[in-house]
Amino acid sequence: MPNTQKFGTSPVFFTAIATILGAILFLRFGFAVGTLGFGGTLLIIILGHLVTIPTALAISELATNKRVEGGGEYFIISRSFGLNIGATIGIALYLSQAISVAFYVIAFTEAFEPLFNFLSAKFGFIVPRQVISIPAMIGLSALILKKGADIGVKTLYIVVGILFVSLILFFMGKTGYLEDGGFRFSDINFSNKKDFFIVFAIIFPAFTGMTAGVGLSGDLKKPSVSIPLGTTLATVSGMIIYIFIAWKFFTSASAQDLTENQLIMSKIAIGGGFIIPLGLAASTISSAIGSIMVAPRTLQALAQDNSLPMRKINRIFAKQKGENNEPFNATLLTSLIAIVFVAMGDVDAVAQIISMFFMVTYGSLCLISFLNHFGASPSYRPSFKSHWVISLVGFMAAVWLMFKMNFSYALAAIILMTLLYILTNYLHKNRKGLEAIFTNSLFQLNRNLQVYLQRSQKSRHNKEWRPSAICISRDSFDRTNAFQLLNWISYKYGFGTYIHLIEGYYSTAKCTQASTELAKLISQFEDDHNHVYIDTLISPSYTSAIAQTIQVPGISGMENNMVIFEYSKNDASVLGEISENIPLVKAGNFDVCVYRSTEKYVDFKKDIHVWIRSTDQENSHLLILLSFIILGHPIWKKSNIKIFDVRKEGAEKETRKQVKDLVIKGRLPINSNNITIIPENPKTGIKKLINQYSKEAALSLIGFREDSLKNQGKSIFEGYDDLGPILFLNSNTQKRIE
């Protein structure tokens, strides 16, 4: 089988440096110095490299963590953010690279400006640039299609040689403008500050070539060595060269000459009339070669991942040709796109949008590096290491500069990327979005938050109460009532952990069963309103499961403080078992909920009834607070809370005032008309009253005392035959409403 990974570090470096020292250098960099002065241009170089250097370091880091395959930047992004987001950025990246080919070819024609000027002055001919640009594009396409990347790399060495000769002659040239050429801090001027970001938008594409060599990743012998070395060296070298070029411009020509003559370099360099147009031609054609080698490989990688809209299209562009597996079809499409834009002749507006997409790519690469640092996954072990601060600065600078360069184009780019993601997600629903990179970061964030919360809980004397409830059930696949209650509690204000009990001794078979049933439960309860953490537990008995679970720390970072038991109204056989285990839970100072569910449909438009008794003041605040918390779930949005307070005869007025004051003080959404004070009647038992008043309630909350449970056993939960769902509550301590 042929070895397609055959290049070393040189192509990466030369592809990147030739793209960095490209058309902008020859055509517009003098304009920047003339407009902003040396100080302003120096600031552009520094600001631009706040994005490019972190991106180069991020790529170097990512490339040394695992093998970067074909597609370069697309491969890194898609394997970090998932194939759908990777495809979104990858398609935009490919279009940017393909249109960049046209941009460089159009710039290439500017090397023939002396010829165009001669024909115009001598014969009066106004020759369109397409006379040269279209044949040049067709010739370049034919060369790459016939010879592949190998001939591209060989040509690259020649044009890079010409480029460096032209730069050397430029630095050797003298104009007499500033004979001493000495450095003075007073010369670091900054003029026309209001035009800074306009000029920055024109100049920034000069710095976007540092990742050009990454697209050759599939054709490299050792991507983990060649990409870091070649990319970093090209980026730093490019920055240093640009600083010296800016100084050379500043000391060699006036601001007027720099802004009015786009080929001012030809007036400065030795033999500039010949070598500068030749250098411009070399730099632009080398950039075009670099782009036309890279873009098809990005498209090919997208097709191999089946990320393009249609299967047939994926098959076409995933195809390889020849012994070196060249992306022939992808190169053909890239050439056609480039020819179309070359024929248009002016891609200035498109070039700015291209810069936006490159910014998105660079920002994404820096974000990936930052998240990998923050996530601290054991599998992330790059041999080349950057620092997370550098990556974060690169990401933030990329986003900020996008909007500073051109707000409209930045917004258009983001909207287009969003629409592209929606389409990709629709076409590939089976592929989930973000992968392990965000999961690892969330793990780290959650761990740090839990440690912080644990420490802060110990330092707080007056703790604000909120429920952190756990529920253990063997009946998860028979009824979901317990889970629903836990979800009502945890949706907005509380935290919930649902434990599915698998009775038996710990074994391989039981572990397999637990994994299978957990996956089934997660899938069963997977919807937008589920805020409950689900897990399984293997334990020999219900009692041992409770003892194990109540000792486990809460997932919220705060200790669990509430245990929920559940049984069905139609099958109260487990009520005795629940009653026997409540003292075990109370030994751990937990609040206790016993939920009697029904199979009957619950009308959530009806009210939640709260029952308070004069002999049960410890539970009163928990009853009111929990009714309010349950009401926070969207399913209860049309329901109201009604309070029924049973007091000794003659205390009705005082009790009503107390309850109203409590509701007002606690800012609870309970209308005063929904507060009912019922005088105690020895002839009418409390259960009879509750059955009478609450038989139409959607949910009834009733308190119970621990001493009553000891004396009466499970009978305290019985005798409410006319009611629907009931939530019996016992508070460990009286909660504060303030």
Please provide the CATH number assigned to the domain covering 600-738: 3.40.50.620
Closest CA to 239 of 395, 391, 54: 54
More confident residue, 516 or 439: 516
More confident residue, 22 or 467: 467
Closest CA to 48 of 348, 367, 394: 394
Question: Pairing relation of β-strands 532-539 and 641-647?
Answer: unpaired
Q: Centre a 10 Å sphere on the Cβ of residue 695 and count the other Cβ atoms it contains.
A: 14
Q: Would you place residue 2 in the very low, low, confident or very high pLDDT band (cuts 50, 70, 90)?
A: very low
- CA distances 347 to 101, 107, 129, 602, 701, Å, are 11, 10, 13, 64, 70
d(CA 131, CA 105): 12
Length of the chain: 738
d(CA 391, CA 369): 6
Assigned architecture for domain 466-573? 3-Layer(aba) Sandwich (3.40)
Instruction: Pull the structure tokens for residue 266.
Output: 């030809």
d(CA 53, CA 316): 36
Are the folds of 466-573 and 600-738 the same?
Answer: yes
Q: What is the mean pLDDT of residues 211-215?
A: 65
pLDDT for res 148: 59
pLDDT for res 597: 92
Q: Is the pLDDT of residue 213 over 70?
A: no
Q: Centre a 10 Å sphere on the Cβ of residue 164 and count the other Cβ atoms it contains.
A: 16
d(CA 702, CA 643): 11
Q: Would you place residue 700 in the very low, low, confident or very high pLDDT band (cuts 50, 70, 90)?
A: very high
Backbone angles phi, psi at 699, to 5 degrees: -155, 135
pLDDT tens per residue across span 457-485: 555 445 678 888 999 999 899 888 999 99
pLDDT for res 724: 92
Question: Pairing relation of β-strands 468-473 and 675-679?
Answer: unpaired
Average pLDDT, the chain: 82
Q: State the DSSP string of 417-459.
A: HHHHHHHHHHHTTTS-SS-HHHHHHHHHHHHHHHHHHHHHHHH
Q: Give the Cα-Cα-Cα angle 548, 553, 554 (nearest 5 degrees).
A: 115
Question: Pairing relation of β-strands 726-730 and 591-597?
Answer: antiparallel
Best mean pLDDT range from 192-201, 212-221, 591-600: 591-600
Q: Would you place residue 684 in the very low, low, confident or very high pLDDT band (cuts 50, 70, 90)?
A: confident
- Domain 10-427: homologous superfamily in CATH: Amino acid/polyamine transporter I (1.20.1740.10)
pLDDT tens per residue across span 613-663: 878 888 989 999 999 999 989 999 899 999 999 988 878 888 888 888 888
Q: What is the mean pLDDT of residues 336-354?
A: 71
More confident residue, 700 or 664: 700
Q: Among the listed ranges 38-47, 106-115, 476-485, which one has the minimum average pLDDT value?
A: 106-115
Best mean pLDDT range from 329-338, 460-469, 552-561: 329-338
Listed by start position, the domains of the chain span 10-427, 466-573, 600-738
pLDDT for res 1: 35
Q: Is the pLDDT of residue 529 over 80?
A: no
pLDDT tens per residue across span 267-320: 899 988 888 888 888 878 777 877 787 788 888 888 888 878 777 888 888 887
d(CA 489, CA 485): 6
